[in-house]
Chain A
Amino acid sequence: MRKISDWGNYPVIEAEVSGFDTTAQLRAQLEQPGDVIAFGNGRSYGDASLQNRILLTRRFNKFLSFNDETGELCCQAGVLLSEILDVFVQRGWFLPVTPGTKQITVGGAIAADVHGKNHHVDGSMGHHIITMDVMRNDGTVVTCSPTENAEFFNVTVGGMGLSGIILNATFRLRKVDTAYIREETVRASNLDEIMDAFEASNDWTYSVAWIDCLAKGDRMGRSILMRGEHATTSDLVQQMHKEAPLSPKQGMQLGIPINFPDFALNPLSMKAFNFAYYNKTRPGTHQQIINYNSFFYPLDAIDNWNRIYGKRGFTQYQFVIPKEAGREGMRTILKRITDSGLGSFLAVLKLFGEQDSFMSFPMAGYTLALDFPISLKAMDLFKELDAMVADYGGRLYLAKDSRMDAAMFEKTYPNADEFRQAIALLNEGATKFSSLQSQRIGITS
């Protein structure tokens, strides 16, 4: 037994923890009856990969094959996105989809069906899976794809690890000329401006905004839109970049060695941070060439940044609301958040494109993600926000969630009922895939 938690350090539990190197070892572990869930690199925020018994997938991390004509990569599910980048960027390939951290496993990326700054163009991770192998609770292995065992594929993509343990996956990497991004930043002084800017950025492959949730009144929603394209060699200007277009200089890695005391994060320190970030960008539109790490993974440069929230832990409230409800809905919800004064250190706004999948989080509309230190006040606020999100026809992201209740899940995920039945069927037998989250939101008992 040992203490274990996901990225938000809330909740922290005691669990029986073990890993595996081979499918035979995994099969032997699944013979032990009871509830069990896969745990990748612990970057989901809440309790989606927590259970009394946990199977660590990180050791199952071998690259199996790569086709340098097509970019098709087959690897085991414990491989980190960062490992893929370390190996393949220098050879001119990039991930088809990446969230804001590269410290997640391929299995986790599929189970949470993660999205990135290119969702409006390329969809979520699940759209790029050509085929994958998944081990069921009885030790059998199912090969599935959008055409082979499609129903099983559909409950596995975005299925939060409840259909089985993803063993390996094949997907196509994206060809790039350089390791750099041609980035354009646009400063927007309020919510209307940023939404206009998003809607005018549909042709850009990548777009995301950092929004200052503490700005009130006329300035509410003031933000910086960052949009980008993979730079071509002719985009590069600096001699250093031109000489080694696929090998960016690694930036400095900083670390947070210990949990910060609770008082380190307060409205004043957060306001200072948000203001500094906003003012770093001058008004108007600006272009620059930056390496992919700075563009996609600014927070990965600080190891264990979750420790700034101290021992009590934190959660990230990420919701999406349909585009029709977007302007009014986002204004109402944002106002409630700014009025609460519990506002967050980091808030990210993004316009999703269409999404057609069984259980995944994205939908055509606006998504906002905010960090909150765990507190009773914040928990009360979330209840209020849940009601608003549900009213607008939106939902919460399971990969970030640690506290939504079953009614909220039921109301906001249209296939909740069907999903529950499918998982119940798959889980027949002595061993069940089930997480603390799936129990809390009523998918598993």
Chain B
Amino acid sequence: MKNVLILGATSDMAQAIAKKYAAEGWSLTLAALEKELLEPIAGDLQVRNEIAVQTLEFDATDFSNHRKLYESLSTKPDVVIAAFGYMSDQDEVRNDLEDIKRTIDINFTGMASVLSVVAEDFEQRGSGAIAAISSVAGDRGRQSNYIYGSAKAGLSAFLSGLRNRLAPKGIHVMTVKPGFARTKMTENLELPAALTASPEQIADAVFQGLEKKRSVVYTLWMWRFIMLIIKHIPEPIFKKMKM
């Protein structure tokens, strides 16, 4: 039985991804900051699928502990999905250095730290696949969320490099850019239905993307083109736009 390790397993997206893998008959290791939130999620997957589910506490910002934590796993994963992230309301905290640091620590440094440990193990074993949830916000810095966006831009660059390094060794690295998603972060917002993916759609895109070894996945195809246009607006015009 193949095993998937999901980091940040309490988010709506991660829960949908876990359900997808469980339904496909994989065993699961779920890791998240709040272990008490993981128990009902793990119990649910066990009732639904009669599979083995392990849980562990994982703090993305406790960098020095990442190696020890990964080495402690009794089952080494075949696939690792990094789905943790942090986004605050930038209008409220754009001058709050603590929040800026937290945004970068979780979305970039935490990802780079833990995925480096995973990459090393996969490299030694000569197999494995990694998917990480980045964001369309990283494709171009916009005034409404450039702090989060820049951390995600860093992550996207990190993943691109890691993919480049590991591809010759048969290890696949996939970048996921969900666009708008109907999750708890957005449940009180009106989102354009055609541009908004459900957690289940994202989960399917992640699973299928890894099966097909895709490099960068926009869960809804329009986002690739929307971001292509946004990226190519000349800076003199872009800086006057409200985005």
Q: Is A19 in contact with B187, judged by CB distance below 8 angstroms?
A: yes
Min CB distance A89 to B, Å, is 13
Most-contacted residue by chain B among A3, A62, A66, A87 (CB, 10 A)? A62
Which residues of the partner chain A approach B187 to less than 8 Å between Cβ atoms?
17-19, 56
CB distance from B140 to the nearest CB of A (A): 27
Partner-binding segment picked from B40-48, B146-154, B158-166: B40-48
User: Given the complex of chains A and B, what is the CA–CA distance between A62 and B46 in angstroms?
Assistant: 10
A1 touches B (CB below 8 Å): yes
A2 to B47 CA separation, bound complex (whole angstroms): 35
B114 to chain A, nearest CB (A): 24
Question: Is B48 touching A59 in the complex (CB atoms < 8 A)?
Answer: no
Chain B minimum-CB-distance residue to A1: B188
Nearest chain A residue, comparing its CB with the CB of B19: A83
With known contacts A62-B43, A62-B44, A64-B43, A21–B190 Cβ distance under 8 A: no
CB contact between A63 and one of B12, B48, B190 (< 8 Å): that residue: B48
Q: How many residues of A contact B (CB 8 A)?
A: 19
Q: With A59-B12, A63-B44, A87-B48 known to touch, is A2 a contact of B37 (CB < 8 Å)?
A: no
* Cβ contact within 8 Å between B189 and A2: yes
Residues of B within 8 A of A239 (CB): none
Residues of A within 8 A of B37 (CB): 21-22
- On whether the beta carbons of B43 and A63 are closer than 8 Å, the reply is yes
Contacting residue for B41 out of A1, A56, A62, CB 8 A? A62
A62 contacts across to B, CB distance below 8 A: 40-41, 43-44
Contacts of B40 in A (CB 8 A): 22, 62, 64, 76
Bitwise interface map of B from 1 to 42 toward A, beta carbon under 8 Å scored 1, else 0: 000000000101000000000000000000000000100110
Pairs across A and B, CB under 8 Å, 25 listed: A2-B188, A2-B190, A3-B190, A18-B187, A19-B184, A21-B37, A21-B184, A22-B37, A22-B40, A59-B12, A59-B184, A62-B40, A62-B43, A62-B44, A63-B43, A63-B44, A63-B47, A64-B40, A64-B43, A64-B44, A64-B47, A65-B43, A65-B47, A66-B47, A87-B47
Indicate with 1 or 0, residue by residue over B35-66, a CB within 8 angstroms of chain A CB atoms: 00100110110011100000000000000000
Give, as a whole number of angstroms, the nearest-CB distance from B88 to chain A: 18
Interface 1/0 per residue, A51-94 and B, CB below 8 Å: 00000100101111110000000001000000000010000000
7 additional A-B pairs beyond A22-B37, A64-B40, beta carbons within 8 Å, are A3-B190, A21-B184, A62-B43, A63-B43, A63-B47, A63-B48, A65-B43
